[in-house]
Chain A
Amino acid sequence: MNIVDLIFARSTAAHSAVVSPELQLTFGELEARMKDCAQRMSSDPAWPKKTRPRIGLDAPSGTDYIVVALSILKQNACFVPIPAELTASERAQLAKSTALDAIVVAKSAEDWRIEPVTHDSPPAFDESALEALNPAFIRFSSGTTGASKGIVISHETLLGRITAANEGLRIGPQDRVLWVLPMAHHFAVSIVLYLYHGATTILAPASDPKVMLTMLREHGATVMYGSPYHYTMLSGQPDAATLGSLRLAVSTAFALTNEVAELFASKTGLHLTQGMGIIEAGLPILNLEHARDKPTSIGKPLPAFEVKLNDGELMLRGPGIFDAYLTPWQPRETVLHDGWFATGDIAEMDEDGCLYLRGRVRSVINVGGLKCFPEEVEAILCSHAGVKAARVSGRAHPALGAMPSAEIIPQNAESPPPVIELRKLCQERLSAYKVPLFYTFVSELPLTPSGKIRRY
């Protein structure tokens, strides 16, 4: 089974599939452009000569990101998105841990090149076990390979999760979805879901609220997907009331605060619906019933899912849960307990069964929807000769989520290392979103009884 074949077998050729400022494609045109790209790719001498190659994609978000991604999937290759923010070393680490066969570097569906990747050691996972899963995607939960495991999603699992998620979203050919998120981080249970269900995806620039609203109006958007940051920005526009014409505005990536929810509702008359998107399971929980009175809740599980709390940790059971962790290799059956997946999120449930996320089991900072493990940043800071110890934590903002902030014990309190040096060191080694914004020098850091840095 191949999800790309299913998409075009169901679609109406003349119906609009993707709209962007540069390029507009009907489903028929999208299929033709995709097939042409896939054909040229597979006949390119640099395309790996194997049945299921693992292909990285390095391309800017846009219509042709969709074309090239579908072309890769169409050839039964396993698709590994490579986010633009990765540093060279993070990128090399991702290529190694997924044992990429090649990277497609694409400016557009016409202008791309295939860079073969060679490895000095065999993959750390069982290639034949991976291929047997019919893998479509490998994703990383932290945005890089840093402290996370590759997550394998098969074509079958992808179909399972987009079917289950749409029991809540109810997206169909009549819908036009306004899209502003980075495609290297959001693609499966979003763009693929819209295409599969015949909707039109409207691609708007992420930092330009004026253009977003113009496109919303011109193309009659019915649904929007965005983060609290996008909704705050849009609320500030003089014609924000235009957003009231949407039937659904989903808030995702990081926590929606009351402040942002109220601001958006007061300017648009529309209530933001918070959802819980999770790479391991898709979109299992969505606040469809209580967007108005409980905007900070992620709501209840969609019909196909069950949830329970285990010592405060949110557990999830249902369709579309990932097929395997890549490194170390762990098939789904060995990760789940009686079908239950431990999300790592601490949650509370109120008397109506609405869920609220309260933090993470492990220390992780959610930076605009991307995960940052403080230990990784602390290790970089501590590699500076002038740093004795460091603690990185999230500094919260009502509309922007959290940004990493560092507290540092200098080796010599009289002459702490210059902040610019610490920042440069982090910028060289880490994706930009992980680089601490703020640096404070302290004389001590709180420790747990076992001598580790206290996180809360």
Chain B
Amino acid sequence: MPDATPNTMIKLVRETVLPDLPADFSTEADFFEAGLDSMGVMQLVMYLEERFGKKVEPTELSRDNFRSGSTLATLVNGKTA
């Protein structure tokens, strides 16, 4: 299974749903402000489930979990609140 670090999450988001994400996008910067919409969240969920074998539970489909590279890494590593 690939490592889910905040930076690999940013790379993954850039490769899949937000191709125009700037190179210096920080691990705490907000994906939604950068244009992530609900279709993008749906694409990300399916991609994460496939690539990381991580089932995203309904309780985890919150805006907070998909907000940044850092929150996404926490989600994939299974340490969400």
Contacts and interface: CB of A to CB of B under 8 A. Distances in A.
A116 interface: no
A207 B66 contact: yes
B43 interface: yes
> Main SS of chain A's interface residues?
mixed
A395 interface: yes
Interface in B35-64: 36-43, 45-47, 49-50, 57-63
Given A420-B15, A423-B15, A424-B19, A209 B61 contact: yes
A395 B62 CA distance: 23
B55 to A, nearest CB: 11
Given A397-B46, A403-B43, A427-B19, A232 B38 contact: no
Given A210-B62, A236-B59, A420-B15, 13 more contacts: A209-B62, A232-B58, A232-B61, A233-B61, A233-B62, A235-B58, A400-B42, A400-B45, A432-B39, A432-B40, A433-B39, A437-B46, A438-B50
Contacts of A233: 58, 61-62
B48 to A, nearest CB: 11
A229 B35 CA distance: 19
Contact of B61 (A236, A367, A401, A438): A236
A210 B66 CA distance: 14
Nearest to B56: A399
B72 to A, nearest CB: 14
A206 to B, nearest CB: 4
Contacts of B77: none
A208 interface: yes
A30 B61 CA distance: 34
Contacts of B46: 395, 397, 400, 403, 437
Contacts of A401: 42
A263 interface: yes
A397 B43 CA distance: 11
A229 B42 contact: yes
Interface of B: 15-17, 19, 32, 36-43, 45-47, 49-50, 57-63, 66
Contacts of B19: 424, 427
A173 interface: no
A206 B38 contact: yes
A207 B63 contact: yes
> Main SS of chain B's interface residues?
helix
Interface string A201-240: 0000011111000000000000000000110110111100
A108 to B, nearest CB: 18
Contacts of A206: 37-38
Nearest to B16: A437
A237 B46 CA distance: 20
B63 A437 contact: no
Contacts of A433: 39, 43
B11 to A, nearest CB: 10
A450 B4 CA distance: 46
Contact of A207 (B17, B41, B49, B58): B41
Contact of A368 (B42, B47, B50, B63): B42
Nearest to B62: A209
B17 A432 contact: yes
Contacts of A235: 58
Nearest to A264: B58
B41 A236 contact: no
Given A207-B32, A420-B15, A424-B19, A236 B40 contact: no
A289 interface: no
Nearest to B66: A207
A85 interface: yes
13 contacts: A207-B36, A207-B66, A209-B61, A209-B63, A232-B61, A233-B61, A236-B57, A237-B62, A238-B59, A263-B58, A368-B42, A403-B42, A437-B46
B38 A437 contact: no
Contact of B38 (A207, A238, A397): A207
A80 B36 CA distance: 24
A76 to B, nearest CB: 32
Q: Which residue among B17, B36, B37, B49 has the maximum number of chain A CB atoms within 10 Å of its CB?
A: B37
A396 to B, nearest CB: 10
Nearest to A395: B46
Contacts of B39: 85, 367-368, 370, 432-433
Nearest to A424: B19
Contacts of B37: 206-207
